[in-house]
Structure 1
Amino acid sequence: MEITIALAGNPNAGKTSIFNGLTGSHQHVGNWPGVTVERKEGEFIHGNIKIKVVDLPGTYSLTPYTIDERIARDFIVKEKPELVVVIADASNLERNLYLLIEIMQLTKKTLLVLNMVDIAEKKGIKINHQSLSKILGIPVVKTIANKGVGIKELKDKIVEAIKNPQENVGEGSFLFNERIELAVSEIRDRVSKLRLIFPPRFIALKLLEKDDEIRELVFSKADNGLRTVVDAWIARLEKELGDDMASILAAEKYAFIHGLYNEVVELKSSVERQIDITDRVDRVLTNRYLGIPLFLFIMWIIFQLVFKVGNPLADIIDKLMGSLAALISEVLSKWGASSYAISFITDGIIGGVGSVLAFIPRIMLLFLAIAILEDSGYMARAAFGMDKLMHSLGLHGKSAIPMIVSFGCNIPGILATRTLKSEKDRILTI
């Protein structure tokens, strides 16, 4: 007997360690069809069952903004693995649960792994995994994958989950407010008649979120009546709830996750204080009215850093290259070189290289600033705040920084697009 399971999870959740722990040396690496994204597969035998393990790219959601997200979603839907094992960083559980909720809307065959529980405990975070399993209706396993702890139990749970599927609440494990559920129910009933590869409830939610790919897939096969119903519900709910649907649905999911986290996690008082401070900062940085002004102020600071500090450094490089060009010109003249040769070397080679080198201080300062914003966690909050505006242009929220930097100079702005994960977003932003 041979079955296939998939490993999913956020980047840096320890998915590779879990994959190595399950498969050992029985693995090989290739590419996903049509792209250069690495595809890792392995296998292990447990009892009399041969289990093929497919390591999906690390993602934060299943909305296909990036190639990685598209690959993960398409594999779960089209290949239909017998089980999706979601690996979560136990020390950062609240953030990791968002992907789990999205996967549970796609498939009921789900198992949750709480990895790095030792790090969580050192931080004063204690997770009641039995309660978490009961609430979600799926098996939950604790592991410390880099030390091999919990791998045997995980293998046992995988086989048990496949042999005796737990009737998890799947779609019902998370419900939106009454008005949204009314919209989802009506759209789901209409969509279910189309017999698409995605679950009807998942399609209904993605239609409300204005997922372009799902809308194109559904509306190409449905009559205009469905589009009218969907657009009417979107307009009604956005007016009633005072925000765009993507933000409304995301906020509802995070509210559920926050409540679930508080129910199953016990924190030391020092950790609670730290989280409380983080929540307060989040409320300010993602505030509907303060978020964008704060973002623009921080961008102004980056402008000052890049150009006020970078320009004098660039001038120094220009002067050094100018002095070098003058020295080379003088030496070549003494050697009797022609004016064409002197011009080619001093103006063409030295001048050209100097022009490129002059941008290095600005580019270094820009990427230093972006790295600081990324490491501090502000970049994700800024992207969230700018996402609505950027989506009206067909872009991701992170596109805002390269676009604003480009007002001062196109080159640093174009280079800053390298921080965007999606090739499509990079090209559109440029």
Structure 2
Amino acid sequence: MSIKIALAGNPNCGKTTLFNALTGSNQFVGNWPGVTVEKKEGKLKGHKDVIIMDLPGIYSLSPYTLEEVVARNYLIGERPDAILNIVDGTNIERNLYLSTQLMELGIPVIMAVNMMDIVEKSGDKIHINKLSEKLGCEVVEISALKGTGIQKAAEKAVAIANQKNNKPPVHKFAAEVESVLDSIEDKLGNDVPEEQKRFFAIKLLEKDEKIQSQMKRVPDVTEEITRIERELDDDTESIITNERYVYISSIIDQCLTRSMKNKLTISDKIDRIVTNRFLALPIFAAVMFIVYYASVTTVGSWATDWVNDSLFGDEMNLFGLQLPGIPVMAESFLTAIGCADWLQGLLVNGIIAGVGAVLGFVPQMLVLFIFLAFLESCGYMARVAFIMDRVFRKFGLSGKSFIPMLIGSGCGVPGIMASRTIENDRDRKMTIMTTTFIPCGAKLPIIALIAGALFDGASWVAPSAYFVGIAAIICSGIILKKTRMFAGDPAPFVMELPAYHMPTVGNVLRSMWERGWSFIKKAGTIILLSTIVVWFASYFGWVDGQFRMLEAMELDHSILAKLGSTISWLFIPLGWGNWKSAVAALTGLVAKENVVGTFGILYGFAEVAEDGSEIWGTLAGSMTAVAAYSFLVFNLLCAPCFAAMGAIKREMNNTRWFWFAVGYQTLLAYIVALCVYQVGTLITTGSFGFFTVVAFALIAGFIYLLVRPEKAKSESKVKLTSIAGAK
């Protein structure tokens, strides 16, 4: 029978570094059932029967955040054989709060005091033996980053897990509180196992609704609660919290000897510059410029260009050898063996093109992920969230929302995936819904096409696209925060600012690969399948009553053309109600850069440049400048590509929330595009009609939603405890 060991600790205590060191490549990454919090488990090196579970970083077992709900549900419901509690030695007093709660669970605990190398360097001294004696559990020194002491900690956890009937000692509260807890434990009777009575008694005294709802028969503890609150003149939750800190304070002086040095640490000196009120934003802009210059413009761009233009192009240079690209080789091979035209088209234009569309993004993403992993591991990204919180909080978002939006300017998929760093579920969902409003790299060809074809390459078009995206995010934040689903202030911004340190190469590469592989698996399959479907719908149709594969000049008869004609009337109020524009917007759901390629095919050009310069004249003759800008706005704000939608589905982990997000994005895009066209046409031509009235009514309603007062907070509370059971 396998042994389960749970890793528990505060955020940034080194827990994940320890997990990676103990499990190596024997890891399984997914999501906890029903929630979007990442679930990691692995097998201990050299022990096939020992499973290590990496719990989310939490500050307590009170169910205030999604991570705390997940961790507590696992510890109470699954009952691991032992807990390896990782404590940050540089801030041991704060870390011990969670430790006191873990020991109350009745599960054997081994405490691993991490970052001991930093503690020693600072001149502080932690008396491990004294700490072990006071806490009543075994304590070991480790440095997860350097790998010292970690094997000893793991072996002790395995050893204590193998000991049967091992009930660790529990710290004592004040006499008045102990008396009440004893009374509640007696009332629990046989409803709760003996080793769990202490934890349940404390949670009942704290009026924990989650624990009460889990019990079949809740004992009547009202009298005890009333008595202790009257005696100590405070509510019971505050009493318990205070008692924990009193207990920690009573032992910390005996277990920790602080250095008499008062000089600033290196991290403090760096933070005086990078978090400075005036220098913080310029420094951050410079750092991100370097990151994107390397990952998007130079190194990543070179790799991506080679994949797109060489590997999946006509000819590639491989170690000095000139070889045909994969599509050319595949086409030559299929022609040589006499493959049917339809099957050849499916394999070359459908499957290989679909794979190429996915792999073309991967090099840039991997380079970007390396930089982001480095910035996260060294501690800088925590400072960025702190800096941006002051700005974003004014619009109902957390400072942590800025990072996904920044990453989303390169590609929406990693931007959406980055939202998992946001602890608050409402803020996370709002960030997922709004991140793709920022124009990603795939939308740049659409911007270039509209700017060149209709605005003579005007320099204001591209910046205006970014301003539209930013305005959509700000307005969405203000409006959504006033609805029942998102109402309330952003969660209090609590983030540990870890000491700066140099990340290990292994951890950076592992983080990069986990993110990159997740993109390839999830987004790749979706965009591959959708490309095949679009290929089939584009090249097959009915001609003279016969269903067959179409020639290039017969695309008006394709399934896609019929579908475009069916839905094109929807876009008449937006100024581009012809089937070709409707189909182009539709294929943009597969990949936004498909919009330019679709126009090229539908207007008779087999291949077009990235900015579609060949079709500028034709497109300019088919729609007005105002209609073109309406088309641009719609494609910027509407539901993103299938790859990004797949990422939204995965991160939301809830079908209803996924459709709500996609529906909101599309509806907002439609409304804004309609207003742009109708008001723009009124200004440029003086034309006034029914939809002009509709546009002004929508603008009035939009302004009302922006300025209306917020609902009372009592009406808008969302119970995070209920989210854990969402399906």
Q: What's the TM-score once normalised by structure 2's chain length?
A: 0.38
Q: How does 1:232-271 map to 2 (within 5 A)?
A: 232-270=223-261
Deviation larger for 125-134 or 88-97 = 125-134
Cα contact 2:26–2:42 (8 A) shared by 1 = yes
Cα contact 1:3–1:49 (8 A) shared by 2 = no
Distance 1:4 1:111 in 2: 13
Q: How does 1:3-402 map to 2 (within 5 A)?
A: 3-46=3-46, 50-164=49-163, 169-171=168-170, 174-195=171-192, 199-218=196-215, 220-222=216-218, 226-227=219-220, 230-270=221-261, 353=468, 356=471
Distance 1:240 1:117 in 2: 42
Q: CA deviation at 1:60?
A: 0.9
Q: CA deviation at 1:356?
A: 3.0
Cα contact 1:106–1:199 (8 A) shared by 2 = yes
Q: CA deviation at 1:73?
A: 1.5
- The verdict on how the C-alpha distance between 1:424 and 1:159 changes in structure 2, with shifts beyond 3 A counting, is closer
Provide structure 1 residue ranges, at least 5 long, that are not aligned to the other structure: 275-301, 308-334, 336-348, 364-369, 378-408, 415-419
- The verdict on how the C-alpha distance between 1:413 and 1:197 changes in structure 2, with shifts beyond 3 A counting, is farther
Q: CA deviation at 1:146?
A: 1.1
Cα contact 1:137–1:166 (8 A) shared by 2 = no
Per-residue CA deviations over 1:3-22 (Å, capped at 9, x if unaligned) read 11111111100000110111
- The verdict on how the C-alpha distance between 1:143 and 1:166 changes in structure 2, with shifts beyond 3 A counting, is farther
Secondary structure of the 2:104 match is helix
Provide structure 2 residue ranges, at least 5 long, that are not aligned to the other structure: 266-389, 396-453, 455-463, 479-489, 498-705, 712-716
Cα contact 2:79–2:107 (8 A) shared by 1 = no
Q: CA deviation at 1:251?
A: 0.4
Cα contact 1:77–1:198 (8 A) shared by 2 = no
Cα contact 2:86–2:114 (8 A) shared by 1 = yes
Per-residue CA deviations over 1:296-331 (Å, capped at 9, x if unaligned) read xxxxxx89x969xxxxxxxxxxxxxxxxxxxxxxxx
Cα contact 2:108–2:168 (8 A) shared by 1 = no
- The verdict on how the C-alpha distance between 1:192 and 1:423 changes in structure 2, with shifts beyond 3 A counting, is closer
Letter matched to residue 471 of structure 2: V
Q: CA deviation at 1:206?
A: 0.8
Distance 1:178 1:36 in 2: 42
Aligned to 1:310: none
Q: Report % sequence identity.
A: 37
Distance 2:155 2:496 in 1: 39
Q: CA deviation at 1:44?
A: 2.1
Letter matched to residue 133 of structure 2: K
Whose Rg is larger?
2
Secondary structure of the 1:269 match is coil
Distance 1:244 1:163 in 2: 40
Secondary structure of the 2:159 match is helix
Secondary structure of the 1:146 match is coil
- The verdict on how the C-alpha distance between 1:192 and 1:200 changes in structure 2, with shifts beyond 3 A counting, is farther
Paired residues in the alignment total: 305
Distance 1:197 1:71 in 2: 23
- The verdict on how the C-alpha distance between 1:92 and 1:376 changes in structure 2, with shifts beyond 3 A counting, is closer
Secondary structure of the 2:91 match is helix
Secondary structure of the 2:80 match is coil
Secondary structure of the 2:249 match is helix
- The verdict on how the C-alpha distance between 1:217 and 1:186 changes in structure 2, with shifts beyond 3 A counting, is same
- The verdict on how the C-alpha distance between 1:354 and 1:37 changes in structure 2, with shifts beyond 3 A counting, is closer
Q: What's the TM-score once normalised by structure 1's chain length?
A: 0.62
Distance 1:56 1:148 in 2: 20
Per-residue CA deviations over 1:143-187 (Å, capped at 9, x if unaligned) read 11111111222233223323457956433xx11111111111111
Cα contact 1:10–1:96 (8 A) shared by 2 = yes
Q: CA deviation at 1:199?
A: 1.2
Per-residue CA deviations over 1:105-157 (Å, capped at 9, x if unaligned) read 00241110101112222333211111111222212111111111112222332
Secondary structure of the 2:214 match is helix
Distance 1:137 1:180 in 2: 20
Q: CA deviation at 1:241?
A: 0.8
Cα contact 1:61–1:69 (8 A) shared by 2 = yes
Letter matched to residue 13 of structure 1: C
Letter matched to residue 35 of structure 1: V
Q: CA RMSD in A?
A: 4.0
Distance 2:167 2:468 in 1: 63
Q: CA deviation at 1:99?
A: 0.9
Letter matched to residue 85 of structure 1: L
